[in-house]
Structure 1
């Protein structure tokens, strides 16, 4: 009867999940900060690149089409 109990299944799931989380090789605080900075710098670079193309093509459209 315990196998059909949803609370028993949930408890088993939580125990197994906790065990798996302990096996994970979590990044250090320094590595996390480093990766965060890389993502922010890359995002800003892509935003600048896309903004430049938008400005360029917008001005070309205004000049030649409109």
Structure 2
């Protein structure tokens, strides 16, 4: 097994972090309003699906209870 000196890897790691910072500055980030709007849409869909699944579960459970009990 080859033993690597961590200090020899330091320049490469620092270069990587500089590149990450540069790339992060180039990203076209969405506006705050767009982010809030999209988040509310996702939450709305999640709530709608949860309600649908809850109602479906209740209906199926009621049907099964009538036929099995």
Question: Which of 42, 45, 51 is the aligned partner of 2:45?
Answer: 42
Q: What is the number of equivalent residue pairs in this alignment?
A: 63
Residue in 2 that maps onto 1:30: 33
Higher relative contact order, structure no. (Cα contacts within 8 Å, ≥ 6 residues apart): 1
Residue in 2 that maps onto 1:63: 66
After superposing on structure 2, the runs of 4+ consecutive aligned residues of structure 1 that deviate more than 3 Å are none
Counterparts of 1:65 and 1:6, CA distance in 2: 67
RMSD, aligned α-carbons:
1.2
TM-score (norm 1): 0.88
- Structure 1 gaps, min length 5: none
Residue in 2 that maps onto 1:10: 13
TM-score (norm 2): 0.85
Cα deviation, residue 65, structure 1: 1.5
Question: Which of 27, 44, 57 is the aligned partner of 1:54?
Answer: 57
